């Protein structure tokens, strides 16, 4: 897999989103964790722009983080509309 470090960050983002208990217990802290992980993704993107292919650039620029993770894991884009 290319860019396993990015995949790990994207997986961490999904885990934060899925943590409904944390969200329900302290919504503000949960939101701050989401902001922090999104900043981490943005930082990674900015520092690796010259190393990534056009597909990954497209997903990260558009904040399509699930599609970026799927692409990293499979090496292929999903068909349009899926």
How confident is the model over 4-38, as pLDDT tens digits?
999 999 999 999 999 999 999 999 999 999 999 99
In a domain, 46, yes or no: yes
What average pLDDT does the chain have?
Answer: 92
| Residue-range definition of the domain harbouring residue 59 | 4-74
For the entire predicted model, the pTM comes to 0.86
Number of domains in the chain: 1
Whether the per-residue pLDDT at 50 is higher than 80: the answer is: yes
In a domain, 65, yes or no: yes
In a domain, 80, yes or no: no
In a domain, 38, yes or no: yes
In a domain, 81, yes or no: no
In a domain, 21, yes or no: yes
Round to whole Å and give the CA distance between 72 and 27: 30
Whether the per-residue pLDDT at 77 is higher than 70: the answer is: no
How confident is the model over 53-66, as pLDDT tens digits?
999 999 999 999 99
Round to whole Å and give the CA distance between 68 and 34: 17
Q: How much is the pLDDT for 20? A: 96
């Amino acid at each position: 897999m290319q860019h396993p470090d990015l995949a790990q960050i994207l997986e961490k983002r999904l885990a934060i989103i899925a943590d409904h208990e944390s969200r329900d217990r302290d919504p503000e802290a949960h939101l701050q964790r989401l902001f922090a992980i999104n900043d981490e993704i943005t930082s990674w993107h900015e520092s690796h722009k010259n190393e990534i292919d056009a597909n990954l650039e497209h997903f990260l620029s558009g904040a399509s983080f699930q599609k970026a993770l799927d692409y990293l894991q499979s090496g292929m884009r999903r068909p349009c509309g899926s």
